[in-house]
Amino acid sequence: MAGVNPYIEQSKTEKPTRKFTVTFLPAGKTFEVDPAKIPYNRTGLPGSILDIAEGAGIEIDHACGGVAACSTCHVIVKKGLKSCNEATDDEQDMLDDARGVTLESRLACQCVPNGSETLEVEIPSWSRNLVREGH
């Protein structure tokens, strides 16, 4: 599911212009992001960590469909946070409902890297979708 939540402030994002990598922890899977292929699955904002994870075959729970209406896609950007768009007040308010929030916490559906740095993203155990319907 993709779309935009009309009830929240829209993030100002900068699209990447060159390839970069994202490593997803704890799986240790590294994925090369190709700006020409964004959006990968139209989940969350185009080019968001959630969109990139879906393209890499990494499961991150996202109960609201990636429109910043829940906090289930909470991730921790361990490396490369400065290359990501700034969190809006609405995203920060939603993160107040997440477990284990740190200073590097973001909603994967709203966090869009610009490609200027490599990223290392930790998916907390409660955000990993290990079982999906239909499997």
What does each C-alpha distance from 74 to 66, 99, 124 come to in angstroms? 11, 8, 8
Q: Could you state, in order of their start, the residue ranges of all structural domains in the chain?
A: 20-127
Domain 20-127 classification at class level: alpha beta
> Distance of alpha carbon 96 from its chain centroid, rounded?
17
Buried b (16+ CB within 10 A) or exposed e, 12-41: ebeebeeebebbbeeeeeebebeeeebbbe
Give the helix/strand (H/E) hosting 21.
Answer: strand 20-25
Q: What is the per-residue pLDDT across 26-80, written as a single tens digit (0 to 9) for each?
A: 999 999 999 999 999 888 999 999 999 999 999 999 999 899 999 999 999 999 9
Report pLDDT for 41. 85
Please state the pTM of the whole predicted model.
0.90
